[in-house]
Structure formats: structure tokens, C-alpha cells
Amino acid sequence: MTSELLDQALIEEATKKSGLIWVRGAGAPAARALWHVWHEGAVCLVGDGPGEQPLPGLTDGGFAEVTVRSKDKGGRLVAWPATVSELAPGSPEWEAAVAELKGKRLNAPDGEEMPRRWGRECRVLRLVPAGSSAPLPSDDLAERPLPSPATTRQPIPAGLPRLLARRRKGK
């Protein structure tokens, strides 16, 4: 009993404090780094819509493996199994989860319109811990980033080092 309570406390505290978690859905080839919120005993995620994070392998009624990192050092703290449920748009649970998620969503293109867009075009998922913590994965979980219009892999402009050096001399 005490071991289960300690596991639950570790899962909750680590997940609350981490800005990213790695989630591997059933059948997904690799874990994905996802932003989230901890709300009422579960992880809440939004995605699978235009401009939002993809949620591969996460299906309503399915299972997922969640790995949580340390916010300070970035190392793995705890891994835990989860059951996945999709929240119905407009339901009280959906409204509560979206209110929490909205505060954590960075760089949203549509501000106050965002919850309505999520209701039309995205999925809001709830990942509930299903049992005690699991052994940490032995592999490194490193994956090459997926292609995205949000990433740029271009050399820095030629004049940037001189500009930065000039700013440092001026201080």
C-alpha cells in the first residue's frame, strides 16, 4: 500500500513539474515529446489538428507508456503506463481540461478563438496512470525530429557573428 502511494506521488509530482513528457502510444514506432498539463489526476493533451502536436498511436480506450524527465537536468525520472481516453468536445471534462491547456499553449495563432478551434479540429486526450511506475527504458529514446514547418535547419546569416560581437563590445 505504501509503495503504491509513493509511486502515485512520484508520478504526479514529476509529471506536474515537467514541461515535456515522452509518450509512446500503442503501435507507435517511437515515443514523442509532448507538452501537457496535469489536471485532476491525469495528463491532458491536445493535438492532431492544424498547427498542433501530433498524437500518433493514442486512441480512445488504448494504452500508452509515459516517460517523465527532470525539469532541472533533463534526465528520466519515472515511466508509467496510462490508459487513454478522448474527451468529448463541450463536455464538462473537456471544458475543464481545455481551460488548463489554454494557459499552457505557447504562441497560439488564434488566442481566444483557440478553444473553439480545438473543439472543431483537434482531439483532447486524458492519460490516466494505470498502475505503478515501470522500469525506466534502457534505450536512449533519441529520435531524429520529424519534418515540420516550425523547424529551420539553415546556416546562420554571415553577418550575425560580427553583429553579436559589436553588441558585446558596446556594453
d(CA 38, CA 167): 42
pTM for the whole thing? Answer: 0.78
pLDDT in tens, the chain (171 residues): 577 888 888 899 989 988 889 999 988 888 888 999 999 999 999 999 888 999 989 999 999 999 998 877 777 889 999 999 999 999 999 999 999 999 888 887 787 888 999 999 999 999 999 987 777 767 766 667 666 666 666 777 888 888 888 877 655
What's the structural domain count of the chain?
1
Identify the CATH number of the domain in which residue 124 sits.
2.30.110.10
Residue found under cell 480506450:
61
The residue segments making up the domain with residue 99 are: 2-170
What residues contact residue 90 under an 8 Å CB cut-off, 6+ apart? 119
Evaluated on CA atoms 70, 140, 82, 33, the torsion sign reads positive
